[in-house]
Amino acid sequence: MSHSLGVLTSNNDLPVRTNKTVHNGKVRSVYWLNQADSARLIKEKNYDVAADAELAVMVISDRISAFECLWRGENGLDGIPGKGAALNAISAHWFQLFKEKGLADSHILDVPHPLVWIVQKAKPVMIEAIARNYITGSMWRAYNKGEREFCGERLAEGLNKDQKLPELLITPSTKGIITGVPGVPEVDDVNISRSDIENNYAAFNFNSVEDIQCYEQLLRQGFTVISDELAKLDQIFVDTKFEFGYVKDASGQQKMIYMDEVGTPDSSRIWDGEALRSGVVLEKSKEKFRQILLDRFDADILTNKDRMAERYALAENNELPEAVMLDISKTYTDIAEKITGQKLLQSAEPKAEIIDILDREYGIIAK
């Protein structure tokens, strides 16, 4: 069966001119432009960056990852139609709003196509900056087992599942493997406390100890901006992950920016307000997909890190029903259109379109 809307599943094989290895993440691929192309585009497009900034083309796919695995559907549906465009549109919308409200810039310089960003290279802060407004998900599971201390913050007794927390809670974790920090295991995605960061700020790529306060402030402000906007749509911003980095502006000054993605259904939990008032948690995020997987498969395999081999085999050997993939597609596209107030642009031939635009308007396709 063919789908009228093209699903972009492989995004690391575009003929973008680069002399570095293409960085292929679970969902995005990054092509670093050479110095000449970077300098030319900065000039031609008048980007507000240092003249020698390194630029990249970031291409988002429609792949879906959950529990550290990529999942596929029947009939060759190896991604979620519209997912990439939805994530890009939502992120760009929030980044723009942050900029308008004077918070901080992002790494995005240009959006040539709904699945593509031109970004500037940043020095990343090695922290997944997580903020929580409600107790749910992994935090609830740990709390329910008796844990009360999270990233150096102590929670009160007697909290219930999906309850609003008394105040926004910041629970950072490591981004990648951090070495040489006492008490922090050398594995990816491990919880850390504020004192871990303060005592080892350079290991986390902060320029100064004062910048820890800066990232926390940008996290809180960004959370509040998104939360307030979603509230107008009767949607609840439950929790989220932000990432930060440093770039140089046109005058050569270093500044902290937002990077990766913000306020998307992949990086956040979003609940429907009306449903919650009637006591039902209705997910408008990837959490819905996780729940479907937990209902279909052995939950221990999906959540137990000691069973990763079985988990990879599960994802590799099971094609999900097409109806599930299309239902999740609707979750992504609906929330994107609600947030941006615009119809989501999707293309039938995404790869051909991307190559054409990057060739015609940017001159960065290898001949």
- In this prediction, residue 187 carries a pLDDT of 83
pLDDT at residue number 114: 96
| pLDDT tens-digit map of 242-295 | 999 999 988 888 999 999 999 999 999 999 999 999 999 999 999 999 999 999
Are 259 and 65 in contact, with CB atoms under 8 Å apart? Answer: no
204 three-state secondary structure: helix
The CATH number of residue 40's host domain is 3.30.200.20
The secondary structure of 28-46 as a DSSP string is EEEEEPPHHHHHHHHHHTT
329 lies in some domain: no
Q: How far is 151 from 97, CA to CA, in rounded Å?
A: 29
Q: What's the CA gap between 298 and 191, in Å, rounded?
A: 26
- Based on the fold, state whether residues 47 and 85 are members of the same structural domain: yes
- Indicate the residue among 171, 204, 237 that finishes a domain: 204
- Res 47: pLDDT: 94
Question: Is 218 domain-assigned?
Answer: no
The pLDDT of residue 251 is: 87
Q: Helices in the chain by DSSP H: which ranges?
A: 35-44, 83-100, 137-144, 194-199, 210-232, 273-277, 287-296, 299-303, 308-317, 322-340, 350-360
| DSSP string over 47-62 | -SS-TT--EEEEEE--
Q: What is the CATH number of the domain that holds 198?
A: 3.30.470.20
Question: Same structural domain for residues 91 and 169?
Answer: no
In sequence order, what E strands does 114-206 have?
A: 116-120, 123-124, 127-135, 149-150, 153-154, 163-170, 173-174
Is the distance from CB of 313 to CB of 67 less than 8 angstroms? no
Q: Which structural domain range is residue 198 located in?
A: 130-204
Q: What is the pLDDT of residues 101-149, one digit of tens each?
A: 999 999 999 999 999 999 999 999 999 999 999 999 889 999 999 999 9
Asked if the structure places residue 42 within a domain, the reply is yes
Residues 197 and 153 placed together within one structural domain of the fold: yes
Q: Same domain, yes or no, for 107 and 29?
A: yes
Judged against a pLDDT cut of 90, whether residue 189 lies above it is answered with: no
State how far the Cα of 281 lies from the Cα of 269, in Å rounded to an integer: 11
User: Pick from 204, 235, 250: which residue ends a domain?
Assistant: 204
Which residue is it, tokens 């990766």? 260
Q: Domain total for the chain?
A: 2
Residues 155 and 104 in one domain: no
Mean pLDDT calculated for residue range 173-201? 90
pLDDT over threshold 60, residue 80: yes
Question: CA 71: distance to chain centroid?
Answer: 17
Residues 93 and 169 in one domain: no
pLDDT band at 183 (very low <50, low <70, confident <90, very high): confident
Mean predicted lDDT score pLDDT of the chain? 95
Note the pLDDT of residue 188.
84
Tokens coding 195: 């004192």
Residue 343 lies in a domain: yes
Nearest to 151 by CA among 178, 125, 179, 183: 183
In the block, which residue shows the tokens 């000054």?
253
* Residue position matching structure tokens 């959490």: 287
Same-domain status, 117 and 138? no
3 state DSSP class of 231: helix
3-state SS class at 355: helix
Q: Are residues 148 and 90 in the same domain?
A: no
Domain-located, residue 342? yes
Average the pLDDT over 333-338 and give the result: 96
Under DSSP, is residue 217 helix (H, G, I), strand (E, B) or coil? Answer: helix
- Phi/psi for 64 (5° steps) reads -125, 125
| Domain stop point among 155, 170, 204 | 204
Question: Alpha-carbon distance 183 to 191, whole Å?
Answer: 11
Q: Are 14 and 354 in contact (CB under 8 A)?
A: yes
User: What is the reported pLDDT for 5?
Assistant: 67
Question: In DSSP terms, which residues pair with 119 in a beta bridge?
Answer: 56, 108
In a domain, 280, yes or no: no
